[in-house]
């Protein structure tokens, strides 16, 4: 990646400006090594709705994450927000 390429969030596909976190699709606790860039708010949404065991079974299949009703609603809502938008995320 060169300096002109912008990072996009693995979950919502919005551009990432300055707020960046790295998500392990397979959690480190479950021997996951790979990471994907996400906004902090998107990272929180993933971990609010999925346990580490569930994420380990899902792996990097973004479509399965997006099929979750609450995640789909979240992504629809956040898609119109600016890149560095952040707000409290409801916990279950």
Please state the pTM of the whole predicted model: 0.85
Per-residue pLDDT of the chain (92 residues; tens, 9 = 90+): 445 567 999 999 999 988 899 999 999 988 889 999 999 999 999 999 999 999 999 999 999 999 999 999 999 999 999 888 887 766 65
Q: In this structure, what are the phi and psi dihedrals at residue 52, rounded to the nearest 5 degrees?
A: -60, -35
Alpha helices in 1-92 (DSSP H): 40-49, 52-58, 62-67, 69-78
């Amino acid at each position: 990646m060169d300096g002109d390429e912008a990072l996009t969030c693995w979950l919502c596909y919005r551009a990432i400006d300055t707020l960046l976190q790295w998500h392990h699709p397979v959690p480190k606790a479950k021997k996951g090594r790979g990471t994907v860039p996400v906004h902090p708010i998107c990272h929180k949404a993933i971990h609010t709705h999925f346990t580490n065991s569930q994420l380990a079974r899902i792996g990097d299949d973004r479509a399965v994450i997006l099929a979750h009703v609450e995640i789909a609603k979240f992504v629809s809502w956040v898609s119109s927000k600016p890149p560095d938008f952040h707000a409290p995320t409801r916990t279950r």
